[in-house]
Amino acid sequence: MQPPTALNTALAAGDTAAVIAETLAMDGATTVLDVGCGHGGLAKALTARGFQITGVDPGEAAIDAARAAAPEADFAVAPGEKLPFADRSFDAAVFLNSLHHVPEARMPDALGEAARVTRARGTVLVIEPLAEGPFFEGVRPIDDETAIRNAANRAVADAVRSGRFALRGNVVFERKERFADVDTFISRVVSVDPARAASIEARRGEVERLFETNATRQDGARILVQPLRIYWLRVPA
């Protein structure tokens, strides 16, 4: 992948939504499925850029939050491995930090479903956090996702090798997140998975120490960097 200027700028800034938007725009995508949409952050960002977004998530509470965040988008409660849409319904599908939340045995099904509902020669983007970096190290004692993140990357590689997708490129870039203090970091981590709260409470001292060790200071805030890999996939004709 040799990105044009706008995409290069987004990659350098670590602006994940802009990276996704610029890549989709390069491919002429308009209708986009957000697989594992969570609370609707990406849907909100993409609808603001003019994309027609449909989001799915298996959690009803997440979908309620997504509808509030992005009222212009459409949403449905559904798992990524069983999408309630007809074949070739979308120009593109996106997994943003969501494939590794699918049970490992079902990851091939989720990728297959994304290929099914995306038009021929359409785009599937998979953005996955790597099991490394300051943000990862801060979260690791709470929820060590090393194995499942690596499994998600293997699932993408297997899908390409099998011919389910053509790999147009993959790039690693760094997302920088700002936190006022350790409490805002903890709130962010728990928002992804509320089950983490008990582990944080039990290991609060270690969480605080690792936050201070891994964060850098900038303008009164703490910065944690998370490397992400974006896979730019094409559905065969």
Which of 88-102, 136-150, 196-210 is most confident? 88-102
Query: Does residue 72 surpass a pLDDT of 80?
Result: yes
pLDDT at 233 over 80: yes
pLDDT reading at 195 higher than 90: no
| CA nearest neighbour of 162 among 113, 128, 112, 114 | 112
Residue 91 pLDDT more than 70?
yes
Cα separation, 231 vs 94, in Å, equals 10
Rounded Cα distance, 3 and 10, in Å? 10
| Average per-residue pLDDT for the chain | 95
Asked if 218 contacts 225 with a C-beta cutoff of 8 angstroms, the reply is: no
The strand ranges marked E within the chain are 31-35, 52-57, 74-77, 90-96, 118-129, 166-179, 216-218, 221-234
CATH number for the 5-131+144-178+226-234 domain, one of 2.40.110.10, 3.40.50.150, 3.10.129.10, 3.30.360.10?
3.40.50.150
- Nearest 5°: the CA angle 27, 28, 31 is 110
Neighbouring residues of 123: CB distance < 8 A, sequence distance ≥ 6: 23, 24, 27, 29, 91, 92, 93, 232, 233, 234, 235
| Residue 26 near residue 194, CB atoms below 8 Å | no
Q: Judging by beta carbons within 10 Å of its beta carbon (0-12, 13-18, 19+), is residue 217 exposed, middle or buried?
A: exposed
In this predicted model, what pLDDT tens digit does every residue of 140-186 receive, in sequence order?
Answer: 988 999 999 999 999 999 999 999 999 999 999 999 999 999 999 99
Query: Which residue has better confidence, 1 or 20?
Result: 20
In this predicted structure, the answer to whether residue 1 has a pLDDT above a threshold of 70 is no
Q: What percentage of the chain exceeds 90 in pLDDT?
A: 94
CA dist., res. 215 & res. 196, Å (int): 20
Cα–Cα distance, 221 to 140 (Å, whole number): 21
pLDDT digits (tens, 9 = 90+) for 10-45: 999 999 999 999 999 999 999 999 999 999 999 999
pLDDT tier at 3, thresholds 50, 70, 90: low
What is the predicted pLDDT for the residue at 192? 83
Q: Given this model, what pLDDT does residue 40 score?
A: 98
User: Which residues, other chains included, contact 187 with Cβ-Cβ below 8 Å and sequence gap of 6+?
Assistant: none
